[in-house]
Amino acid sequence: MAVGFGDTSQDRRVRVLGEPVDSYPRLAPEVERGSVRRITVVGEEILRRPCREVTQFGTQELSQLVDDMFATNQVAEGAGLAANQVDVDLQLFVWDITDDWGVRHVGHIANPVLEEVPTEQRRLVEEPEGCLSVPGPYRVLPRLDRAVVRGRDKNGKALVIEGRGYFARCLQHETDHLYGHLYLDRLAQRERKAALREMAASKDEMLARRAALARKLGK
C-alpha cells in the first residue's frame, strides 16, 4: 500500500511507486534503459479518444514502454507523460516530479482510476498548468489539491498513489489524458485559442530543445 501524503511532512525520502526509498539516482533507471519516442501534439486523433485498458502485465513490451516513456519525459523536461502522448493506445502514465514540499515522486501506473474526494475535503487551487502535447503555453487552471489514484504497476501489483498540490495536479492531468481530455478543454474558448497561437509560435523552439537534450543523454 502506498504511503499517504501525511507521512511526508517529516520524511523527505524519494517515493517510488508511493513507497519511500533510502537512496535514488538523479536519473531514474528507466531513463537509462529507455529510448526517446515522438510526443504527439494537440490535433492528433489518439489524444482525443479513451485509451484501452492494459490487460497483459509482466511483459517485456510493457516494461519497454514504461522505460521509453520515462526517457521521453526526461528529455521533454516533463512532470508526467501518458501513453497516448507517445502514440500508444493504453491506459498508462509515468511521473517524475517534486511536490510543493520538496518530496520527489517517481513511478508509473496502469488502468488508473481517480477516487472521488469527499466534499468536505475538496479544495480547488488555481495554478499554471502546461502539457507536453501542447508545447509552450501554460495557463492558470483550477484543480483539486488532493488526488488518490488506484491502478496497477507493470507487473499487475495493485497500487494506491496519493498526492497533494502539484503532484495531485499531475495525477489528475495524466488521468485526463487517458480519457481523451487535454487541459485545453478546461479553458474558456478565447483562452484556448490564445494558448494554441502561443504553441504555434513556440513549438519549433521547444522541439529543438527536446532534441538537444536527447542528444546530451545519448538518446
Q: Active-site positions?
A: 174
Integer Cα distance of 39 and 76 in angstroms = 9
Please compute, for residue 29, the number of CA atoms within 13 A of its CA located in the half-sphere on the CB side. 6
Helix (H, G, I), strand (E, B) or coil at 148: strand
Integer Cα distance of 45 and 159 in angstroms = 29
SS3 of 31-48: the string is HHHCCCCCCCCCCCHHHH
- Measured CA angle at 157 (ends 153, 163), to 5 deg: 55
Cα-based distances in Å from 29 to 50, 136, 218: 29, 27, 15
Integer Cα distance of 193 and 52 in angstroms = 29
Q: What's the residue count for the chain?
A: 219
Q: Which residues contact 24 (CB under 8 A, 6 or more apart)?
A: 14, 16, 104, 106
Helix (H, G, I), strand (E, B) or coil at 170: helix
